[in-house]
Chain A
Amino acid sequence: MKKRGHIWAWVIFAIGIVYFFLPLLATFLFSLKARLGVLSFQAYENVLRDPAFVRSFSYSVLWATLTIIFGILLFVPTAYWVRLRVPQARTAVEFITLLPFVVPAIVYVFGLVRTYSHPPLLIVNSPFLLVAAYTVLSMPYMYRAIDTGLRAIDVRTLTEAAQSLGANWPTILFRIILPNIRVAILNGAFLSFAIVIGEYILAQYLAKPAFGPYMAVQGQNKAYEPAALAIISFGLTWASMGIIDAFGRGRGQGATIAGGH
């Protein structure tokens, strides 16, 4: 009986592997067929040599990084304060953090354009509007990852212990709370990164030269390069996961492994 269950586990695992990796393998093989009759990395070469790729990718990396920093500065104190002082507001805050899942991005971007394209708030051309918009878009991932990290530590007691030793709020936040939810923050950060790096609608409608619109253009005009871009994108995601894992295992004594998704 036990052996049969064991076999079924492997069968399901194998189906899972095929389901997830077969399309990836097919995409990868397709991306190698840019040259007629031979397998080559020509499509990758074309992508990486394209100045627009480097430009749009760097642009998105920069704004993704700023989004992450802004998100951490906004959500860590908020989640901490909600957990410590206003736990009764948690349900309401969680609902707010889920709104980006409910409001379609296209509705959201038109709202932004309408609100910020005329005085007194004429900031529709500012890249900071994009950061603010991305922060909202990544809110469900970032906030929930941080909140999960906070749930894994005894926030109240650690705060009170630090207070009784003379620590003020910034010290508590930066020296006690942040280091203990480091992995949770990293989880949220990399999820935000993954969201922002390939985001299309906000960048397109706010007319920003980001990586998402670049990929869309490539998809419309070329055959093999979009497949190569998809593989590069997977590679970046896996690299991000690897970094999370390395951080989690590394200076691990204080790390809180918390899944935010």
Chain B
Amino acid sequence: MTHLALTDISKVYAGTTVVQDFNLEVNKGEFVSFLGPSGCGKTTTLRMIAGFEIPTTGRVMLDDADITDKAPNQRNVGMVFQAYALFPNMTVAQNIGFGMQIHKESKEAIKQRVEEMLALIHLETKGNSFPSQLSGGQQQRVALARALANRPQVLLLDEPLSALDAKIRVSLRQEIRSIQKKLGITAIYVTHDQEEALSISDRIVVMSGGKMEQVGTPFQIYNFPETAFVANFVGTLNTVKAEVVDPAKKLLRMDGVQLEAAEGLDGKGKGDEVTLAIRPERITFASVEEKANIFDCTIENITFLGSIVRIQVLAGSNKFFLDTFNNPFLELPKIGAKEQISCSKEAVLILK
């Protein structure tokens, strides 16, 4: 059931189009992330849902009601900001209860809800503290509780973890996801951090230059990127040009080496140039039995990344990364050594 619908949304500032042709339907209880680099229009789109920006064209529908032209304080939408935005003059409890006070709820109801929210964010003892007495992570949890206390129809989160350190980011994103699931609230999450988006979202909207590049589950986005932008932005990817040799048999040629793809050549003709992509973890050193998709290469560099070891090789004129899991007994090739690498035909993705 569609809960939030964005139809033909565009936003133009002084002749510059920052969002265009944005269409999205979000189901109730769904967690959708807008992922993209700075300036891709993700925050502007979020702000149009919040009412801080009015779309140049298009409509924003929430539970079948058109809220496009409604003021932010007339929409029942909760928002969590990157900069926490807690009111410094109010205690944690007053911050959480602020929205309910505005809606003239009874003191008893506010007190009860504030206690519920404090329990939800595990800050039961901090009700009387001021924001300045809390850590960044605690402040952001309070900001989340404040946004949720009003029982909003949609929760909007604008890069809420960007100002926090790495460990807190990981634990807090899990907490956000578990609270969202527990309350069954629809959430839109803006981030430029692909790992964050992949780990907590039901669906991801990858954006670039104000346009939607791809919408899909984290699994789809990572494993089956549809465009070169998505492929390059989400995860590490080897992208190279290749020539179609036989579209029916899905055969390609790259630097004189024949390659086989599993799909993605529909509509392509012999001799067409395509961009293909292979994830580093899908490339392995070739074993004796392997016959297809094998390249000769030279080891150029080896980088230790903790749980993963990334090896850079030169195959013909193309550079490839391949990832292998680290273990203490791993035998790594020497730099400059001649090796053979291979990948399955399913690992060869043809980009649009």
Residues of B with Cβ closer than 8 Å to A?
50-52, 71-73, 77-79, 81, 83, 85-90, 98-99, 102-103, 130-133, 143, 146-147, 150, 156
Contacts and interface: CB of A to CB of B under 8 A. Distances in A.
Interface in A188-225: none
A164 B79 contact: yes
Contacts of B87: 158, 161-162, 176, 180, 254
B102 A165 contact: yes
B73 A161 contact: no
A161 B79 contact: yes
Interface of A: 153-154, 157-158, 160-168, 171, 176, 179-180, 182, 253-254, 256
Contacts of A153: 88
A163 B52 CA distance: 9
B89 A179 contact: yes
B88 A165 contact: no
A164 B50 contact: yes
Contacts of B88: 153, 180, 253-254, 256
Contacts of B89: 176, 179-180, 182, 253-254
Contact of B102 (A154, A167, A180): A167
A160 B90 contact: no
B83 A166 contact: no
B73 A167 contact: yes
Q: Which of A154, A161, A253 has the most CB of B within 10 A?
A: A161
Contacts of B50: 160, 164
B130 A163 contact: no
24 contacts: A153-B88, A154-B83, A154-B85, A157-B83, A161-B81, A161-B87, A163-B71, A163-B72, A163-B73, A164-B50, A164-B73, A164-B77, A164-B78, A164-B156, A165-B73, A165-B99, A165-B146, A165-B147, A166-B73, A167-B73, A168-B73, A253-B88, A253-B130, A254-B89
B102 A166 contact: yes
9 residue pairs, one from A and one from B, having the closest CB atoms: A254-B89, A165-B99, A253-B130, A161-B85, A179-B89, A164-B79, A163-B72, A166-B102, A157-B85
Contacts of B102: 165-167, 171
Contact of B85 (A158, A166, A171, A253): A158
B191 to A, nearest CB: 18
A180 B77 CA distance: 25
A254 B130 contact: yes
A165 B133 CA distance: 23
A165 B98 contact: yes
Contacts of B99: 165-166
A167 B88 CA distance: 16
Contacts of B71: 163
A164 B83 contact: no
A221 B16 CA distance: 71
A153 to B, nearest CB: 7
Contacts of A163: 51-52, 71-73
Given A153-B88, A162-B98, A164-B77, 12 more contacts: A154-B83, A158-B85, A160-B85, A161-B85, A161-B87, A164-B79, A165-B78, A165-B146, A165-B150, A179-B89, A253-B131, A254-B90
Nearest to B50: A164
A185 to B, nearest CB: 13
B210 to A, nearest CB: 22
A176 to B, nearest CB: 6
B139 to A, nearest CB: 12
A160 B52 contact: yes
B21 to A, nearest CB: 26
Contacts of B78: 164-165
Nearest to B91: A253
A164 B52 CA distance: 9
A162 B72 CA distance: 9
Contacts of A160: 50, 52, 72, 79, 81, 85
A180 B147 CA distance: 21
A180 B131 CA distance: 13
